[in-house]
Amino acid sequence: MGLPVAACAQAPLPPGLVQSEATRFRLQPFAQGLEHPWGAAFLPDGNLLVTERPGRLRLVSPEGRVSAPLSNVPAVAAAGQGGLLDIQLAPDFATTRDLYFCAAAPARGGSLTRLYRARLAADARSLDVVQPILDAGPAQSGNGHFGCRIAFDGEGFLYLTTGDRQRVSERAQDLGDLAGKLLRLDRDGKPAPGNPFLGREGVRPEIYAYGLRSPQGLAINPATGSLFEVEMGPRGGDEVNLPAAGANLGWPVVGHGRAYSGLPIHEAESRPGMQDPERFWVPSISPSGAGFYTGDAFPAWRGNLFLATLSSAGLLRLTLDGDRVVSEERLLWNQTRLRHVLQGPDGFLYVLTDESRGRVLRLVPAE
């Protein structure tokens, strides 16, 4: 794409320090003993809820103590890329204690992406009133591409990503199928008012945009209110998208990747009527969770979008002008697979490592 790329400075630094373009920071251990942590959400009291892909939900204290698994978490299809995945607090969590999470769930015919609403018990040791509110069906066999990122917009509507389920990529183009889609929902899991396909025969009314492969990141730009969707391509073709209402993001018809065999997948890189990505990567970096930074601990990073990455094993910082990506910086590159990144109430950045002995690490300003 011709955008400038900056790498961390190579000059010797004091032990423990990392140099970014505009600041220095330390990477600190925060919590450990988590098996493939996947999603996380900070509570108003500073505790952190963390999902583990095998199907556990834990609470991490502000001091980094990891709780026993919370009770009343439903069984999940924990195989391959499936399991207990993202979690987000409802906008009114402080008064309702409502939260939303999604998982790969067993169903007749295999498994599917399922969205749940629940309430965190007052003692934060269990979930109460757990309700499945949407199944992204139909179910199929296989354990790949569930999507499952959640974000709330300024109106309180919920966005949910679903993957194409990998085996039949054409599902992403089928408007009667919820696989490979970006959904826009109300708090009960119903189609949100104003959705682009409401009332259209043969089309699922929950759909906001379609043509997604393996959407791993979802975040609202606080400066503009725009929704950023991040997805993993096959062999190349990872993308950052700004999906418009009703947009076709193109998978598998157009794109910049190739099959894992090296053979072509797409008919073209771009096509009229299909929305191009804001940014793409060849070769792959395998982006996962995404989050905007708005805190005071790193003033030079305010408004930046951070992506956790897997195959490149690091943290990607994107600088924006409005919603346009103008540069990127690769931090902690080729070190540890990172599944998610989010800002804490202390203004520090927290990252989840994708490991069987997974950890939560945090970036703090250098003294």
**pLDDT tens digits, 275-306:** 999 999 999 999 999 999 999 999 999 999 99
Of all residues in the chain, what percent carry a pLDDT higher than 90? 95
CB-based contact 236:255 (threshold 8 Å): no
Residue range 55-71: mean pLDDT, rounded: 98
Rounded CA gap, 239 and 255, in Å? Answer: 9
Looking at the predicted structure, is the pLDDT value of residue 4 above 70?
A: no
Give the mean pLDDT of the chain: 95
Q: Which residue has the higher pLDDT, 22 or 204?
A: 204
- 36 catalytic? Reply is no
CB-based contact 193:200 (threshold 8 Å): no
Q: Where are the domains of the chain?
A: 28-300
Given 36, 145, 256, 340, the catalytic residue? 145
Q: Of 1.10.3260.10, 2.60.40.420, 2.120.10.30, 3.40.50.720, which CATH number belongs to 28-300?
A: 2.120.10.30
pLDDT for the residue 367: 74
Rounded CA gap, 314 and 197, in Å? Answer: 38
Residue range 250-260: mean pLDDT, rounded: 96
Residue range 215-230: mean pLDDT, rounded: 98
**pLDDT tens digits, 159-208:** 999 999 999 999 999 999 999 999 999 999 999 999 999 999 999 999 99
Looking at the predicted structure, is the pLDDT value of residue 146 above 50?
A: yes
Looking at the predicted structure, is the pLDDT value of residue 5 above 90?
A: no
pLDDT for the residue 96: 98
Residue range 65-86: mean pLDDT, rounded: 97
The whole model's pTM is what?
0.95
Rounded CA gap, 281 and 290, in Å? Answer: 16
Rounded CA gap, 79 and 28, in Å? Answer: 30
